[in-house]
A = this chain, B = another copy of it.
């Protein structure tokens, strides 16, 4: 990558450091004091960069790489250029990530985009709000009455935090977010432009107009949750909307009122959960999944991309399709239709059968 580079790398890591972080093995004759200052894919890497390979598709890139060092399983070594420092490990990608985390500690959570400290000039903090010492409030952020912000938490530029909202420690609430009617744990990351805690969508329908149903629940976001840009989380109507510990949510996801999400779930971009959906722990929803109201998705279930879930999914199941069914059944239906359409077109190209 060319300049500018957006992360500080301090002075990098030595090959010795990397070997010790990853447990990777290397030939005894390399210079372990050599420094690696960046990470890069094989085809873009230069002498100061660490790369990795874990797929045969990239063997040619390996053979011609200019990387300084490369993490790989033993089976790839024969393809490496002779000058490349080979770091042998069974899980090259996992090792690569460990090095990246060590090289770029600043990348592990978004920081103040004004490089502010404390409450910046231009932030609007209500006199009754409690901002712990060590918290950072960027310019243009608005903190409402009686809100509480924990130490080392960053509230980004032009974010808005409503009355009585409680945000824990070491969180980042990024630029332009709004959070109301919510309680947020520690080490939570909320990316820019999220909307947390507004009214759920509830009306008594009527021919002469729809009557708004009060939404008096809250949003509870537990520790170590991460929420992607532009995602919306409505507060509960009569109970709370809950996002469980360690769950990671991607961009532009919609979470309806009263939804309860368990621990360590993964919800990929543009997915939508209707009101009162329950996700048990470790559920994975791929991109663009829709789940209708009151459905429960069991522990550890995976739902494939763009599925529509109309009924409960058993724990551990692998579902896909529209409507979602066990993957094997959905695949069979697709293939059946494909085969029949092909046969039909053969017949019609031969002339109609009698």
Contact = CB atoms under 8 A, between A and B. Distances in A.
A261 interface: no
A139 to B, nearest CB: 4
Tell me how many chains of this kind the complex includes. Answer: 3
Q: Which of the four size classes fits the interface of chain A?
A: 35 or more
5 contacts: A101-B212, A110-B180, A122-B124, A193-B232, A306-B308
B156 A215 contact: no
A273 to B, nearest CB: 9
A189 to B, nearest CB: 8
A200 to B, nearest CB: 9
Nearest to A288: B290
A344 interface: yes
A292 B224 CA distance: 27
Interface of A: 1, 4, 6-7, 39-41, 44, 93-94, 97, 100-101, 103-104, 107-110, 113-115, 120-122, 124, 126, 138-140, 142, 144-145, 156-158, 160-164, 166, 174-178, 180-181, 183, 189, 191-193, 195, 198-199, 201, 203-205, 207-218, 224, 226, 228-230, 232, 234, 238-240, 246, 248, 250-252, 254, 256, 264, 266, 268-270, 272, 274, 282, 287-288, 290, 292, 305-306, 308, 322-323, 329, 332-341, 344-345
A160 B160 contact: no
A239 B157 contact: no
A239 B332 contact: no
Interface of A is mostly: loop
Contacts of A246: 209-210
A43 to B, nearest CB: 9
